[in-house]
Amino acid sequence: MSQHHLKPLFAPKSVAVFGASDRIDSVGQIVFQNMLQSGYQGKLYPINPNHAEVQGY
């Protein structure tokens, strides 16, 4: 069976990180920072209703 239909799930072109934050101890900050440091080539969207910008994005 071909796995091509799963490619968008495992190799997305963009990722939205809900709860992204500048607060050091938050899960959202850790996830967003890991995405940045891992060299992810897609577009990253930090989502936080309390901030217009998160970590410069």
Dihedral sign (CA 31, 36, 38, 40): positive
Q: Give the integer Cα–Cα distance in Å for 21 and 25.
A: 9
Name the CA radius of gyration of the chain, rounded: 13
The confidence score (pLDDT) of residue 46 equals 94
pLDDT value of residue 37: 93
The first and second tokens of residue 23, run together, are 């607060």
Q: Please report the pLDDT score of residue 3 as a whole number.
A: 65
Per-residue pLDDT of the chain (57 residues; tens, 9 = 90+): 556 788 888 889 999 999 999 998 899 999 999 999 998 999 999 999 998 999 888
Give dist(CA 21, CA 54) in Å, integer.
6
**Smallest Cα–Cα separation from 57: which of 20, 14, 13?**
20
Global pTM exceeds 0.95: no
